[in-house]
Amino acid sequence: MIKSILLVGLGGATGSILRYLTTVLVNKYWSQAFPLATFIINIVGCLLIGLLMAFIEKHAGMSTNFRLLLVTGFCGGYTTYSAFAYENTSLIGGSQSLVAFAYIAASVIVGILFVWVGMYLGRLL
């Protein structure tokens, strides 16, 4: 268990650092209203998790450590959107389209609502 936690932590720290550096670099050259840095991070994260999961599926003997370090850790630290997108792809691929669309709608709507609630509560403090 300790080894798993350390692998996830190492991957997560690396992903978070890369997310920060990507944001700094993109924002250095992009000053428009569209949040390009976050968009790029989310899209690259989706590409990465897709590549990694396909590689892991193709190589069935692939170590759980590899998945913990790169998928859970790195991709999770870089962007949780990639996990969200992969889960929905899996649901749709598993003939659970209705569940996927409910998850997508609920995540977006409830997520935005809870940001507003959090901001409202934070202003009361």
Q: Tens digits of per-residue pLDDT, 49-91?
A: 989 888 888 887 778 999 999 999 999 999 878 888 888 999 9
Q: Is 50 annotated as a binding residue?
A: no
Nearest Cα residue to 73 out of 85, 84, 83, 87? 83
Q: Tens digits of per-residue pLDDT, 82-116?
A: 888 888 999 999 999 999 999 999 999 998 998 89
pTM: 0.77
Q: Is 94 annotated as a binding residue?
A: no
Q: Tens digits of per-residue pLDDT, 25-43?
A: 999 999 988 889 989 998 9
